[in-house]
Structure 1
Amino acid sequence: MAAASVLSTELQEELICSICLSLFQDPVLLNCGHNFCQDCLEKVWEAQSGGRGYSCPECRREYREKPALHRNLKLCNIVERFKDTQEEQNAVTHPCDFCLENPLPAINRCINCEASLCELHLQKHNNKFSQRNHVLVEPIDTPKGQQSNTPECTWRENGICICVGHTIIPADMYQWERATLSEEVKKMQLARKKIEKALEDVQAAIGTLKVNRNSQSSQISNVFNLIRTELNRKEEEFLKSKASEENAKHLELKRQMENLNVKRETMVTLMRKAHDLSLQGDGEHFSRAFKPIYEKIQSLDTSVGTFELPEAKLGGSTMSRIHEITQSFINQLSALIEGKVSQLPGQLKEYSRLSLTFDPLTANSELILSNNYKMVTEVHSRGSVCEVKASEKINSGKYYWEVEILGNGKWKMEV
C-alpha cells in the first residue's frame, strides 16, 4: 500500500500543469513536447501578444506565429483515469489534510496536530524534531454532523472521544455536558428576555419622566407666576397705602408748620413792641401802653403741640417677623411642590390614596397603554368615546386617586 501511494504521488506530479500547478484541464501539446492546460496557455500567450512573438512557458522556445493548439487526447484520458482512481481511493480512506489538490489517502492521524497525513506528508511530519513525540493513531472517519478537524477532540464511531491530552471521555459524560450547556443557554435566553423587558420599561419610564417633567415644570412655573402676581399686587397695595399715609402726615405737618409760623410772627411783633416800650422815658405814656401789651403777652399761645417724626425704614422687629413668615411660606411651598406634605387637605384626610392601573383587555383600539399600564394615549381623535377600565376593584372604604391630563381635550371619569 505504501509503494502504491508513492507511485500515485509521483504520477500526480507528472500530471500537474506548470502554469496553474493543478491537474491538467483540456491539455494541449506544443511542438517542443511540453503540455499545458489550454486555458492557461491561452492566457499566457494573450499577455505575450504585444511582444515579439510567442514562446513556451517552460522551455522558452520561441514561435514567430501563434501555433495551432491540438488537444492531447491520450494525456487527457490519463488525467481522467487518475481522477477516477483518486475518487475511489478517497471513498474508502480518510483524505490527507495537507494535500491541496486531489488529496491522497491518509495512513495516520496526529492527535497533537489534529490532522490526517498521507505517507509523503507523514515523512515530512516525522522529520521535524519538535513533532517526533506526537501521538499517531489510525485515520478515522468523521461522524455526520461533525467537522473533519474538531478543535479539541477526535471522534470514534463507538462514541468514545480521545482528547488532545489523550484522556478517554465516555459518551454519556459528553451528552451530559451538552445537555447542561443547553440548559444554561435557555436560562440565559430567559434572562435576556427579562433584561430586554426591563430595558423597555426603563425606556417607557424615561418617556414618562420627560412628559411629567414638562408638565411639572409648567405647573411650577404657573405656581410661581401666581405667587409673583399676588406679591406684585400686594406690593402695589402696600405702596399706595403708605403713600396715602405719608400724604396725610405731610398735610398735617404743613398745618402745624403754618401755625408755628403765625405764633412766631406774633411773638416777634410783641417782643419788638415790648422792647420799644421799655425804652420809653415818658412814664405816663409807658403806663397807658403797658396794660394792652401785657394782656396780649399773657394771652399769647406759645404751645408747639406734639407730633411724631416719620421712620425712615421698617422697625427691626417688624423686619424679623416678616423674614420668619417668608421663610415659613417658602418651606411650606417647597414641601408641597416636592410632595413631602404629611398632612392631606382637610376634605381628603379620611380617604385612602389609591394607585390605579389600566386593564389592557378593556382598552379601545384607539388607545395605547404604557408598559406599566399607568398612562393612556389616544391615537386618533375622531370624536367618538374611547374608554378603558381600571384593573382594581373597590368593595368598601373611602378612596381618592389623582389624574393628570396633558394637552387639550375632553375626558370623563366614571365609578
Structure 2
Amino acid sequence: MNCSICLNIYTDPVMLRCGHNFCRVCIDRVLDTQDQSGVYLCPECRKRFTQRPALMKDIALRKIMEKFLFTQPTQTEPGIFCTYCVDSPVPAVISCLHCEASLCDKHLRVHSKSPEHVLSETGTSLENRKCSVHKKILEYYCIEDTACICVYCSAGEHREHRVERLDEASEKKKEKLRNVLQKLITKREETEERVQSLEERRRKAQEKSSGEAERVTALFLDMRRWLDDLEKRVLSEISRQEKESLSLSALIHQLEIKKDELSRKMRHIEELCNMTDPLTVLQEPDTGDLCDPEEGGGDEDTGGHKTHDVDDLDVTVISDTFCTLCDIISGIRVYEEGPADILLDVNTAQNNLLISDDLKTATKTEEKQNRPKTAERFLYYQVMSKNRFSSGQHYWDVGISSSRYWRVGMCYPSIDRRGDQSLIGDNNKSWGLRRRRSRGNNYLVIHDNKQIQLPHNISSDRFRICLDYEAGQLSFYELCDPIRHLHTFTATFTEPLHAVLWVREGSIKISEGGRKWTQPS
C-alpha cells in the first residue's frame, strides 16, 4: 500500500501499462522531468515508453486504500506522529518534504536512501519549503539567480541556468562557510594574540610608569636632602665667620682704647718737649712710662688676639658650595637602561685569575688555572666582560676586597692582550680607575698612559662606573653617602666597550647595580 516514489500510502493511485502503481502526483512529477528527454521510464521496472504513458486508475487499489484510511484512528492527542505510525507519537520524527510525510527512525531508512526525498526537521514549516508559484517542493538551487526553485521552475524560467540539487548546493555552501570559518578562527586567534600583546605592553607601560614615578620621587628626595645638607653647610660657615667678625669688633674696641692712650701720652711728651724750664722736665714723676711706649704693647694689651688670624668673610667655601649645587642640578643624567648585568669572560681571563661560578668575581691566586693559551687571553692579571656596549647609558658597580693594588674600567675589544701596554689605561683603547700599593691617597684615573691624581680622600672600597656611549662620557664614582663624583673621561667612542678588571692582589666583585639610577655630576 506504499508508493515506491514517495514511500507513502497511495494517494489517488494510478497504474502504468507495465502494471506498477504510483500516486498520481508522484508519477506526474517524474514524467514531467522526463519530458525534455522524450524518453519515459517506469520508476519501478525501468520499462521504456517512447510516448508519455497514459495513467490508468486502479479502481481495486483505490477501494482498498479508501477502506484502509477509513479504518485508521485520527490523531487527537497532541504531539508529533509518524505518518505511518499513526497509532502513537514517537520521540524522534523527521519530515520528508518530497513525500510531505513525517517519519520515525524505522520508516526513515527507505526515504533517506533516495536523493529525491528531501529531509528536514519536523518543526520546519512546509509552506516555506514550497515554491510560491507552483506550490511544489523546492528541490533545486539556481546558481545564476542564487534562488531555490522547484522542478517546474527548472524547466521554465530557469531552463538554461546552471542548476544543482539542494543538498549539493548546500554542501558547496557549507564548504565555503567552513573556509570562511577557518579564516575567522585564524583572525580571531591573531586578534587574541594582538590583545595579549597589547595587554603585555600596557602592563609593562604601567610597571615602567610606576617605576619612573618611584625613581622621580627618590630623585627629588635625594635632591631635597642634598639641598638641606648644602643649606646647613652654608649657614654653618656663615655663622662661624660671623662669630669671628664679633671677635674682630672687640679687638677693634680695645685697639681704639690703646690708640687714645697713646695719643694722650704723645700730647704729654710734646708738652714736656716744649717746656723751657729744665727743672720742671726733670721732676716729671712718670718719665719712665713716657719714655718707653713700646713696653706692654704686645698681645697682652689686645687681650691675646692676633690681628693676622682674623680675616675678612671667607666666601670661597660658600662659592664652592653653590658650584656644587649647580653641578647637581645641571648635571643630572638618568640611566634609562638601568644597571648592566656584567658577566666576566673566562676565555679572556689570565691564568692566575680565578673566576667565580656566577662569573661575577675575579680573584688573584698563585695556582694557575691551566686554561688554554689563546689570542684573546690576557697575559697579565686582567679579564674582560662578555657584555659589550655600543649604545645607550649603562652603569655597573664593583667591590674591592683585600687589595691595595687594582684597576677597573672599560676597554675596546681590540686592546692588546700581551704587550707591555695592555694594562687598563696604559693605552688609548682603555680608560680606568686605579689604586697603587703605596701609602696615602694613591687613587688615579688613567688613559693613554696619562695619569691624573685624584684630590679626594677616598675611604670606600665600592665604586660605580657609568657609560653614556652617545655622549662619549665614561664616569667614575665613589659609592659613599652621598655618592661622590671622581672623574669623567670624554671621548668619541669608535668601538663597542667591555668592562675590564685588573686584579694584582685580593679580589674584585661585580655587584648588582640596583634600581635605575640618576647620576649627579
TM-score between the two structures when normalised by the length of structure 1? 0.37
Q: Which has the higher strand share?
A: 2
Q: Which has the higher helix share?
A: 1
Higher relative contact order (CA 8 A, sep 6+): 2
